[in-house]
Structure 1
Amino acid sequence: MSSYSIKDLEQLSGIKAHTLRIWEQRYNLLTPKRTETNIRYYDDGDLKLILNVALLNDNGFKISKIVSMSPDEVRQEVMKLTDRSLTHDDQIHALTICMIEMDEDRFDKVLTTNIIKLGFEQTMLNIIYPFLSKIGVLWQTGAINPAQEHFISNLVRQKLIVAIDGQVPSLGGKKFLLFLPEGELHEISLLFASYIIKSKGHKVIYLGQSTPKHDLDAVYDLLEPEYILTVITTSPSIEFAQDYVNNLARKFSKSTIFVSGYSVTGQDMVFDKNVHQFNYIREIKDALDEIEQEMIEK
């Protein structure tokens, strides 16, 4: 079971810590636990309650009404709301609750419903990415346990693989080599980039997680892709990312290299002219539009 500070609850629910404390005092909404050193904390049940309260409150339920409802009544109202609501925040709340409960069936239903209504790409951009960003901070600080993070990542990964398999490259498409550096395991953004690239008719050579340098070199020499894309989140770390990308630029000087990820974005790095940095993985779409325009002009 995870433990959360009141700031964690604020970040995940969107309800200010000050408001949560007022609701604690006025309605006995929460009963914080205390560590042996008398530090207040909250558990999974508290987080689930606050997420449900936030969802109902955002949809017009007064807090005085919510606290008078039974847990089952709250759950039923939340399920009805998330089944019919297209609000992105509501769907993110629903996914967060599924994560806490590790409810695979409900998680799959929420995702599938959004994909049907919004399309796969918009579901990823407007719901999955904000959701992963929200829980990612808490996972890094230890507020969310690794089992919950792996549970969610694997379910999203399954959806991405199915979506990728449904894309067919065209005969005139370019070759893109996608990989993660050795030690890098955060694959969601790379998979999503693969989906977008294939949806535009290009060929993807996908090497995936923690690619050894000699394997990368061998595949490059064999297939000579026009473009290379990698995402650097934790490996190599920020202090080594500049040198790593510089080495890629020199080694694969005949290709255009796209880089993104926490270790390179917002770090004020200067790269060789064959390297293009994405602050957000969605920017790959703009690059693909430029490539398509160049292909038309030729």
Structure 2
Amino acid sequence: MTIDREWIMIPSMNTPTNIRLRIGAASRSSGVSPHTIRSWERRHHALAPYRSDAGGRLYTEADVQRLLLLRRAVDAGHAIGSIAHLPDSDLARLGRTSALDPARELSNRFMEAVSRFDPESAERELNRAAALFPQDRLVREVLAPLLRDIGERWAHSEIGIAQEHLATSLIRALLVTLIRLQPPPAGGRPIVFATLEGERHEMGLLLAAFLAAARRRRVVYLGTEVPAADLAHAARNCNASAIALSLVSAGDASDALDLLAALAPRDTAVWLGGSAAQAYAAVAASRGWKVLAGTDDLDAILV
């Protein structure tokens, strides 16, 4: 007879004899990923499973029911840190009252699918968002907040690197597809989108390129880690109206920006965006460049 190792009987001095589930079975039963379960236990003390004699986590049916209630409350828009201490009866009420708008609900379903490594379901949620929301709202209300949420969850160890990579790869694929599906540009000089050498963060850059394409601007998307000299060469050869740079990493980009200023065409504007762009505000002002605080600033100059 084959024994299912996910379900075990524990006759131990430390716990009463009972059926208990290992974390994989508890995850499948509750719909909460093992990584998230561990995070909720470690960071928020949302539940306290038994431990086997070997130290492994073991969950009762009551634990699984609590995980279900916690998941439903989180899906309804309640922060885990605010509800982890509540009794099951309160969690059940929270799960019946949604605190979310449709954009947030879509984002939560996307993240839950990512957490359980279900790319098909996650992609369906992204496609649903793209169908439901106008393009500017898709960026502002769904994709930009979702990317911030992914970063915060990773920073707080609520998702792992593999899940973060899965989420961003799916969003990247959506944005690339949407850019390609835009109507032909209305004409005019193109905008070159890139990051400088050493800057690998791409998602904000892709969002900006998508906004420009949605505004029927010509987009030349070069991607990440483009040397300043090559960037200037590209701008000159395509007669770019602007170079849009995303600056996110903490490294010093001063030398690359100096080289770009020396080599770029004088009639090509330079726009700096991203979380690190403000550090170069004085340099940008001295050169007549623009620092964009977010998508609203970009949209204002694209109109």
Q: What TM-score results when the alignment is normalised by the length of structure 1?
A: 0.68
Which residue of 2 is the match for residue 64 of structure 1?
Answer: 89
Q: Which amino acid aligns with 2:89?
A: S
Alignment of 1:213-228 (within 5 A): 213-228=228-243
Aligned residue-pair number: 246
Give the corresponding residue for 1:286.
300
CA deviation profile, 1:73-116 (whole Å, cap 9, x unmatched): x8xx89xx89xx85333222222212211211221222222222
Q: Does 1:87 align with 2:112?
A: no
Deviation (angstroms), 1:285: 0.8
List per-residue Cα deviations over 1:211-251 (Å, max 9, x = no partner).
133432332332231210010111xx25x234543443343
Map 1:1-298 to 2 at 5 A: 2=35, 24=46, 30-31=47-48, 50-56=70-76, 63-64=88-89, 86-140=101-155, 143-170=158-185, 172-234=187-249, 237=250, 240-252=252-264, 253-265=266-278, 269-271=282-284, 272-289=286-303
- Please give the secondary structure, in 2, of the residue aligned with 1:180: strand
In structure 2, the residue corresponding to 1:209 is in which secondary structure?
strand
SS at match of 1:113: helix
Residue identity opposite 2:223 in structure 1: G
> Which stretch of structure 1 is more off in the superposition, 137-146 or 157-166?
137-146
1:91-144 Cα shifts (integer Å, max 9, x gaps): 222222122112112212222222222233312211221121022134246553
Question: Secondary structure, in 3 states, of the residue corresponding to 2:191?
Answer: strand
- Equivalent-residue separation in structure 1 for 2:268 and 2:67 (angstroms): 47
In structure 1, stretches of 5+ residues that fail to align are: 10-16, 25-29, 35-44, 69-73, 290-298
- Once the two structures are TM-superposed, the CA of residue 147 in structure 1 deviates from its matched residue by 0.9
Q: Aligned in 2, Cα 1:268/1:219: closer, same or farther, shift over 3 Å?
A: closer
User: Which consecutive residues of structure 2, in runs of 5 or more, have no partner in the other structure?
Assistant: 1-33, 52-63, 79-86
Change in 2 beyond 3 A, CA 1:97/1:143? closer
Check the 8 A contact 1:249/1:274 in 2, yes or no. no
Max Rg structure: 2
The normalised TM-score by structure 2 is 0.67
In structure 2, distance between residues paired with 1:266 and 1:212: 20
What amino acid does structure 2 have at the position aligned with 1:262?
Answer: S
Paired residue type of 2:48: T
- Secondary structure at the aligned position of 2:183 is classed as coil
Q: Is the 8 A contact 2:196 2:256 kept in 1?
A: no
Quick check: 1:184–1:233 contact (8 Å CA) kept in 2?
Answer: yes
